[in-house]
Structure 1
Amino acid sequence: MLKTLQLAKNASLFCSKPALIPANRLQLCVCSVSTEANFGLQKTRVDDNILLQKSATSRPGAPLVLMYSWLAAKQRHLDRFSKLYLNKGCDVVYVQIKPLQLLRPTVGSQKIAEKLVGLVQDSGHNDRPLFVHTFSVGAYLHSETLTKMSQHDAMHQTAIVDRIAGQVFDSAVDLDNVPYGTSRALLKNHLAQNSLEWILNAFLKVTYKHTMAHYEKAHKTFFCNPASTPLLFLYSQVDPVAPASTIERCMNILKNDHGKEVHSKSFESSAHVSHMYQYQNEYVAALESFLHNLSCFNDEKPK
């Protein structure tokens, strides 16, 4: 209870309203560049949230893959997924959100989204198709990015959203499950998880204007997805963080109410964001089948 009261007391931290910086004016600060000789990989650290990975087999015209990670994911966890795209000549942008950035949308997730829009509009990437692969809460961050892309397109007569060729949602978390999912991602002890979940639920109620209101807008953006491209949902029948019933209801709404082309693959018993590890062959087959129908992946691929 004391922690909850302290959170409520500090709710003013969420009241700041930074000015929106047009994405074409964002200055991308490259923090570091490293190369892994074994795989010919060049990793460019844009900031603490964004990492650009290029391989020696990168080919002109191949999609720039925006890979939104789950909370507390390590880069080595995402490497297995990124290699699928790097081997096709794509470059991969890792995008990761931290817990406090998730809980402070105006100075957290929305600022990451602005920086990402600036990156895809950079002169090295502004003529490339985009492909999206999200995990867990990454689906929320992608929704914030879609909002910033749409704003940029309206302000500058660009067409960033139209460059999106396809979108994959692995274990997508609905806004109602943010407290549950966050507590499970950060803690292992069951009692501690329940306590943190309770605290976060209380916190979101007292900071509604500065937290949940933004989540709800992102929720609407997700369903009214401005990108008219195919969607692939990958989920488990036993995932309590991203329940199958919620995802299946979401797919039905997208398909029947919004006319989206929706594909899916359900896994029988894998844990949250663990489908690839437990069902690698099935996961890769579902993804490859989805990519095969996208023209940007049908060009000649590097060996």
Structure 2
Amino acid sequence: MLVKLLLGASTRLQPKPGLLLLLPSRVSTGSLSGMPLAEGQADPKEDTEKEKEAAEEERPVSCPEPSLDLGPGVSVTRLSATVRLYRPPSDSSGCSPAPLVLLLPWFGAPPRAVAKYLSLYLSGRRWPVLVAESRVGHFLWPRWGLDYAGRLLGLLREGGPLGEHPLLVHAFSIGGYVFAQMMVRLQDAPQDHQGVKQRIRGLVYDSLVAGDLEDMARGVSQMTTASPTLQPLLRRGTLLYFRLFSRCTVSYFQAALEVFHRPPLHCPALVFFCHNDPLSDPRVMGQLLDSWRAAGIAVRVQEWPVSRHAGHLRLYPQDYSRALDAFLRDLDLGPPAVRAKL
């Protein structure tokens, strides 16, 4: 009952704009029906719930969406209610496939905010961008998150239309948790996703949620509602939920934390964070970065004493763009960027 209450409350209170990404003028509809579902055993009731969730994600969106100008010729393919592929008029010059950016936004990200990051790649570099949104259910019931991660990996697998692109991952806040679930999949079934793993060339993390269960509960409450009255109630309810269903939640969070500290990917990483972020403990972030460096991972960091969770590009556009440009230049993924207007 508590599970349904929390998931139902998050559905009613979550910011509506974050569920709908901006769509330019040309829109086509695809399908995720061929994507692999999660492996493993589960009871029939749980399987039924997961199937309902998957069907909901794959259901075409019929409601109107905001139209934003991302530049002439940009097209979007709607693969599901939460996944969209944006393509520039033409990929980067040369015969080899352009890098594909997997963009994992923060929960409730407004379309105009996401558009700023799309422009960095679509207009600045003419790289296609695959945007995969998160739902609170992916976090509160991690089995759904693992299923979602498996479907995303299936979409990127060799043999499909996206199977030849070099990959760059750009994850924000809870989007980092979605990618952690993808890394759990990579680690648990390397034979199924070896090609995807080899094609991931770089990782960009912005405003990772770093801390303990209290920080996670605070993050859920802040991502779900802006009401200062409801946030404490949701935070306490989420903590109670974690304690009552620890075998179905906390153990998965620990696996995601473990895979972040000992990642199966050793490609270079760029990390954006600030010291006043209530959802990202700077001490924990420092420990995480130290563990990566100790493992031989090349890490670049852009940090600020004062900024805003998932708002660094808006507050410090020059610093953000400069750090991203330098990182991508070192990766040598394509021609230099054409400066996009932020």
Report TM bin, short chain. Answer: 0.7 to 0.9
Is the CA contact (8 Å cut-off) linking 1:133 and 1:169 kept in structure 2?
yes
Task: Point out 4+ residue stretches in structure 1 off by more than 3 angstroms.
Answer: 8-11, 14-19, 28-38, 149-153, 299-303
- TM-score by structure 1 length? 0.85
User: Alpha-carbon deviation of 1:149?
Assistant: 3.4
Aligned length: 286
Kindly provide the amino acid, as one letter, of the partner of residue 298 in structure 2: E
In the TM superposition, what whole-angstrom CA distance separates every residue of 1:182-234 from its partner, at most 9, and x where no partner exists? 11122222232111111101101111111111111111111221112011110
Tell me, what secondary structure is at the counterpart of 1:169? strand
Q: Counterparts in 2 of 1:1-303, with a 5 A limit?
A: 6-7=1-2, 17-18=46-47, 31=60, 38-59=71-92, 60-86=96-122, 87-107=124-144, 109-121=145-157, 123-155=160-192, 158-174=194-210, 176=212, 177-256=215-294, 258-297=295-334, 299=335
Distance 2:323 2:293 in 1: 19
User: Alpha-carbon deviation of 1:301?
Assistant: 6.3
- TM-score by structure 2 length? 0.76
Kindly provide the amino acid, as one letter, of the partner of residue 76 in structure 2: K
Distance 1:37 1:76 in 2: 10
Distance 1:57 1:140 in 2: 31
In the TM superposition, what whole-angstrom CA distance separates every residue of 1:136-160 from its partner, at most 9, and x where no partner exists? 011110011122234554147x421
Gaps of 5+ in 2: 7-41, 49-56
Corresponding residue for residue 27 of structure 2: none
Kindly provide the amino acid, as one letter, of the partner of residue 142 in structure 1: F
Distance 1:70 1:189 in 2: 18
Tell me, what secondary structure is at the counterpart of 2:113? helix
Kindly provide the amino acid, as one letter, of the partner of residue 282 in structure 1: D
Is the CA contact (8 Å cut-off) linking 1:18 and 1:106 kept in structure 2?
no
Distance 1:213 1:175 in 2: 15
User: Alpha-carbon deviation of 1:250?
Assistant: 1.1
Distance 2:330 2:3 in 1: 49
Residues 1:295 and 1:252: Cα distance change in structure 2 (over 3 Å): same
Is the CA contact (8 Å cut-off) linking 2:266 and 2:296 kept in structure 1?
no
Residues 1:17 and 1:259: Cα distance change in structure 2 (over 3 Å): farther
Is the CA contact (8 Å cut-off) linking 2:61 and 2:81 kept in structure 1?
no
Distance 2:242 2:201 in 1: 34
Tell me, what secondary structure is at the counterpart of 2:130? strand
Residues 1:37 and 1:172: Cα distance change in structure 2 (over 3 Å): closer
User: Alpha-carbon deviation of 1:115?
Assistant: 1.5
Kindly provide the amino acid, as one letter, of the partner of residue 278 in structure 1: L
Q: CA RMSD in A?
A: 3.0
Distance 1:300 1:262 in 2: 21
Tell me, what secondary structure is at the counterpart of 2:326? helix
Residues 1:195 and 1:53: Cα distance change in structure 2 (over 3 Å): same
In the TM superposition, what whole-angstrom CA distance separates every residue of 1:1-50 from its partner, at most 9, and x where no partner exists? xxxxx416979xx975549xxxxxxxx97947999795311111111221
Is the CA contact (8 Å cut-off) linking 2:207 and 2:280 kept in structure 1?
yes
User: Alpha-carbon deviation of 1:62?
Assistant: 1.6
